[in-house]
Amino acid sequence: MTNASNDEENRNRMAKSVADADADAVDDAKVLRSNGGGAKKAMKEGTREWENRPRKRNVAFFYGYVGTGYLGSMINEDTAQGQTLEYVLFKGLHDMGGVLPTNFPDQKKVRVNRASRTDKGVHALANVMTLKLECPYNYWIDGKCGKELVEKVNDELPRKLRVFSATPVTKGFAPRAFCNKRTYQFYIPAPVLGIAIDENGECVSPAEVEKSLTDFNSNVLPLFCGFKPYHNFTERRLYTKKHRDKLKKRLYEKHDKVKRDRSAEGGGAAAEGGAEREERGEEPSTVGKEGGDSAEREVEVEKFCDNVRWFHTFNRKTKLDRSHYRHMHEVSCGARLTNLGKSDGEKRLALRVTIQGESFMYHQIRHMVGLMIAAYRNMVPTNFISAVLSAPANVSLPFAPAHTLVLKDLNFLPFAREDFKNRDEDDKLEMTPAGKEIQQAFEVEQMLPALGSFVDHEDWSTFEEELKEWHGNLPEEQVAKFLATHETWSAALAKRKREREREEMKERKELKE
């Protein structure tokens, strides 16, 4: 009976404190503790100020950057300490008071995650990073859209890195897993495509170029779409089971080392780590080793030239698995060239190619663009693309520079936010309207001028030389044999598919009878 009366008394006291909250409310900006996480202000328990005290909430930040001068986006304290974009953003959040000094720079303490990783020199207009942010509990419920928070973070960041919006998400939200579409844009300089440009920077034959680009967009670029193997567009070894086991072993060893360092028992920790490995079923001496007849079985490989081979048979080492496949939703380009020199009044024409897919492999887009350029310049026939995108093909492809590659947009699956008021169950993470305004300003003031300066980068001259050398190592006779082999393989594959479909229809018919 006493417990029930105490609970009733607590509820009454809480209701009274909430009713009188307007007179005692504090400024949210002060609660964000821009002093870097100093001592908390004395608060009376049960008041609105107490209920709204800073606590960790999982918050998603849409941000953009010009990637030049950084060693990629993802935090890597082993090889790129303090030289990645995520680290700069993480430090900015710490400096404005969103991350406690005791949690910095250890990203695991605040669960830093990202939607997409970009390589050195790649830019972004819509990347997402999530972490447990120290913020007022009712910050978003009180009608805030995160604008003040965004302004505070941007005050701590360089001009080439900007946060666009901050949105609370559920505790279990993982941006990489929830992101189902990633859109990239690549700007190919017009001279690299072989398009003639006059001394004023204008296209010499605009009507002819427009017709050529329309045909290219209709007949060539769609060949990249669909669920296809992209093993020739990346470092194939990075997506094998052997490599995954190697990374898993390295991760286990790192975790064991951390536990040993933290243990005060000395030698007992090593035995504990070994016992945990046994529980996981891990055998360090054999992880990553391929054994058995299927792995060592000889394969039949037809070599057409140094850059082109065809596997007629596979073993476990050479066979592809699902990790080598990617689903491309859209690959397209405009019928007209884009001028990237508006900021300084000069003409810098480039072709904007849009590539949208569920996920991408290491260096995949840059190899795709290299093959696109070769196809547009008629260095390879159109059906060469289809042949390269087949499982038995093993082809070395040209590799375009990264200076004009931009992560343009991200799309997320819907999720329910049960711990927030006035939310639909099927809503999804999106940039706020205020964030889109900041994004547009950042694109005009920082991104486009940077892209314009990279159109004339010396790496494009190096790429053209390498492209000519690559084309010189592709004899027409051998390419014709390679395409004929692919055509024969495709016909046999289609035949097996039709036979399998007939068998399935027959089985369904028998089940109905």
CA separation, residue 415 to residues 142, 172, 262, 333 (Å):
21, 10, 38, 32
Please tell me the number of Cα atoms within 13 Å of 356 on its side-chain side: 13
Percentage above 90 pLDDT, the chain = 58
Q: Is the pLDDT of residue 180 over 90?
A: yes
Contact 162, 63 (CB under 8 A): yes
Mean pLDDT, residues 384-411 taken together: 96
Identify the residue with better confidence: 298 or 154.
154
Please give the CATH architecture assigned to the domain spanning 26-37+51-173+415-454: 2-Layer Sandwich (3.30)
Per-residue pLDDT tens for 45-94?
Answer: 556 565 566 778 899 999 999 999 999 999 987 777 789 999 999 999 99
Q: Is the pLDDT of residue 244 over 90?
A: no
Least Cα distance to 310 among 300, 321, 325, 296 occurs for 300
- The tokens describing 438, both together, are 């900041």
Percentage above 70 pLDDT, the chain = 78
Per-residue pLDDT tens for 352-361?
Answer: 999 999 999 9
**Terminal CA-to-CA distance of the chain, rounded, Å?**
69
Contact 356, 181 (CB under 8 A): yes
Which residues, listed in sequence order, are joined to residue 197 by a DSSP beta bridge?
Answer: 203
Helix (H) or strand (E) holding 32: none
Identify the residue with better confidence: 284 or 450.
450
pLDDT band at residue 262 under the 50/70/90 scheme: low
Identify the residue with better confidence: 277 or 325.
325
Q: Is the pLDDT of residue 22 over 50?
A: no
Mean pLDDT, residues 334-354 taken together: 88
**pLDDT for res 45:** 59
Q: How far apart are CA 371 and CA 400, in angstroms?
A: 9
Q: How far apart are CA 294 and CA 182, in angstroms?
A: 37
Least Cα distance to 259 among 273, 244, 241, 276 occurs for 273
Crossing angle, helix 433-442 and helix 147-154, to 10 degrees? 30
35-44, 177-186, 291-300, 313-322: segment of lowest average pLDDT: 35-44
Mean pLDDT, residues 190-199 taken together: 93
Q: Is the pLDDT of residue 289 over 50?
A: no
Q: Is the pLDDT of residue 411 over 70?
A: yes
Q: How far apart are CA 218 and CA 222, in angstroms?
A: 7
**pLDDT for res 378:** 95
**pLDDT for res 175:** 93
**pLDDT for res 34:** 43
Q: For the full predicted model, state whether its pTM sits above 0.85.
A: no
Mean pLDDT, residues 340-344 taken together: 75
Q: Is the pLDDT of residue 151 over 90?
A: yes
Contact 326, 411 (CB under 8 A): no
24-38, 253-267, 313-327: segment of lowest average pLDDT: 24-38
pLDDT band at residue 344 under the 50/70/90 scheme: low
138-147, 149-158, 185-194, 482-491: segment of lowest average pLDDT: 138-147
Contact 352, 176 (CB under 8 A): no
Contact 80, 15 (CB under 8 A): no
Counting Cβ atoms within 10 Å, is residue 264 exposed (0-12), middle (13-18) or buried (19+)?
A: exposed
**pLDDT for res 418:** 55
Domain with CATH 3.30.70.580 in the chain: 26-37+51-173+415-454
Q: How far apart are CA 501 and CA 503, in angstroms?
A: 5
pLDDT band at residue 25 under the 50/70/90 scheme: very low
Per-residue pLDDT tens for 311-323?
Answer: 998 887 788 888 9
Q: Is the pLDDT of residue 263 over 50?
A: yes
Domain with CATH 3.30.70.660 in the chain: 182-234+300-411+457-488
Q: Is the pLDDT of residue 1 over 70?
A: no
pLDDT band at residue 308 under the 50/70/90 scheme: very high
Mean pLDDT, residues 398-420 taken together: 85
Q: Is the dihedral of CA 311, 313, 316, 317 positive or negative?
A: negative
As a CATH number, domain 182-234+300-411+457-488 is 3.30.70.660
**pLDDT for res 236:** 80
Q: Is the pLDDT of residue 31 over 50?
A: no
Question: How many residues comprise the chain?
Answer: 513
Contact 257, 381 (CB under 8 A): no
Per-residue pLDDT tens for 92-150?
Answer: 999 999 999 999 988 889 999 999 999 999 999 999 999 999 887 777 776 677 888 99
**pLDDT for res 145:** 78
- The tokens describing 2, both together, are 């006493």
Three-state DSSP at 45 gives coil
